[in-house]
Amino acid sequence: MKDLFGNALLDYQNGNYSEDIITSTSISDDDVLPLPYLFRDYKDMPKLEQHALKLCKGTVLDVGCGSGSHSLYLQKKGFTVKAIDISKGAIDVAKQRGVLNTQVKNILDETEKFDTILLLMNGTGIFQELVHVSKHLTHLKNLLIPNGQILMDSSDIKYMYDDDDGGVWRDTNSTYYGELDYFLSYKGKKETPIKWLYLDFKTLKLVSETVGLKCELVMEGEHFDYLAKLIPL
């Protein structure tokens, strides 16, 4: 990983903002990811994220914290928060912005326990492929203090396969339709492609139940997105 995402966050944080990140996927063309969005404050967050923050309780683990926007909000509200990310640049920025407890870490290497585990901005993305979801959910469940909760958002991206006539061009024999190849470039450099998973609620709920988690639909967004709360059965 070249950590172009982290480099972009560092540029923005250090006053060197000149370009946005460009993303594309195996099923979609280039899209602009504006750097200011990755530094959003509470009022600019989607309602799903605002609601997730309202549901937080006890000690919180912010997984894939990015620049630390959610952690900072929670910290200011008095929560004890730990923010982790695999991007060193992201963690440097989160620290610079004032997140007190940060670590460059893959979620699968986390061992501490928390009352709330937060995964936001398509939180299921880090699971990468459907086949890895139960491994991740089992791990997250093991990181929960009794009565703890996992809050995550994602989207059902079936709509992205609709053609103009209302038909669907998805190859139903292929892999799960929410498994995408994700491409990112910044300032003309290309990041190593990654897998990124969008998981519809029904599938998340099904997998959750197989690993002993009750999965509740907390809120639906305006565009096939949703917030889910998972608690041990």
Ligand X SMILES: C[S@@+](CC[C@H](N)C(=O)[O-])C[C@H]1O[C@@H](n2cnc3c(N)ncnc32)[C@H](O)[C@@H]1O
Closest approach, Cβ 14 to ligand X, in A, equals 17
Return the number of the residue (54 or 164) whose C-beta is nearest ligand X: 54
203: nearest Cα among 182, 222, 175: 175
**Buried/exposed 79-101: b ≥16 CB within 10 Å, e otherwise:** bebbbbbbbebbbbbbeebebeb
Closest approach, Cβ 45 to ligand X, in A, equals 8
Return the number of the residue (98 or 147) whose C-beta is nearest ligand X: 98
Return the number of the residue (63 or 215) whose C-beta is nearest ligand X: 63
Residue 61 CA to residue 82 CA, distance in Å, equals 5
Closest approach, Cβ 216 to ligand X, in A, equals 21
Backbone angles phi, psi at 114, to 5 degrees: -140, 160
Return the number of the residue (105 or 158) whose C-beta is nearest ligand X: 105
Residue 71 CA to residue 64 CA, distance in Å, equals 11
Closest approach, Cβ 40 to ligand X, in A, equals 7
Residues contributing to the site for ligand X (CB under 6 A): 5, 38, 63-66, 69, 84-87, 90, 106-107, 120-121, 126
